Amino acid sequence: MKDEVTHTAVDHHREAVTPRRTGQLDRAEALRLLGSVSLGRIVFTYQALPAIRPVNHLMDGEDIIVQLHDGSALTTIVTPTQADGVVVAYEADAIDPDTHIGWSVVVTGYAHLVTDERELARYAARLRLWAQHPAINSSLRIRPDLVTGMQLTG
């Protein structure tokens, strides 16, 4: 962790609990923590406005892999002809609601469609879905350019 800042945690009744410190996570630790959970939120542009969707993910090295299903707004954000991909943000966290201790990681980078059939099959076998969808047939690869992370400690 880098710079630390002290905050006061608040319980459900808005009473001060104990001071909390925040510290920045370095890139390696932030990506390691991101790989320790399977649910996050992707931020993208949909019909010229910002949109956020909860999605499952897995890590492939430093890349974040998200599976897509037919009919979702995410299937419209990138096409195979967009060689440069599209800019997205991805966020995941694990913060205890009672102790207010945990971490949050935000990744910004370019998303590309995964087209290799072997990669698609490998990701489908590894990804734990949290909602059933009739047709999951593609994946997004997010290559992190900017990685920021924050840890809350007691």
Top-confidence residue, 106 or 75: 106
Residue 21 lies in a domain: no
Strands annotated E in 57-135: 58-60, 63-69, 86-95, 102-114
Q: Are 136 and 124 in contact (CB under 8 A)?
A: yes
Residue 108: what pLDDT? Answer: 98
128 vs 124 pLDDT, higher one: 124
Q: Is residue 62 assigned to a domain?
A: yes
C-alpha to C-alpha distances, 72 to 81, 106, 111, 135, nearest whole angstrom: 19, 22, 16, 10
The closest alpha carbon to 86, from 146, 45, 55, 50, belongs to 45
pLDDT recorded at residue 95: 94
pLDDT score of 94: 97
Tell me the CA distances in angstroms from 38 to 55, 65, 90, 144, 147, one per residue in order.
8, 10, 12, 17, 17
Domain of 84 in residue numbering reads as 27-149
| Closest of 116, 111, 113, 49 to residue 79, by C-alpha | 113
For the chain, the straight-line distance linking the first and the last C-alpha, in angstroms and rounded, comes to 14
CATH number, domain of 115, equals 2.30.110.10
114 in a structural domain:
yes
Q: Give me the number of domains the chain comprises.
A: 1
Q: For residue 27, what is the enclosing H or E element?
A: helix 27-34
- Residue-averaged pLDDT of the chain: 83
In-domain check, residue 79: yes
Contact 135, 68 (CB under 8 A): no
Task: Give the pLDDT of residue 32.
Answer: 97
In a domain, 99, yes or no: yes
* Whether residue 24 has pLDDT greater than 70: yes
Chain-centre distance of CA 64, in angstroms? 8
Q: Is residue 11 part of a domain?
A: no
pLDDT digits (tens, 9 = 90+) for 63-72: 999 987 666 6
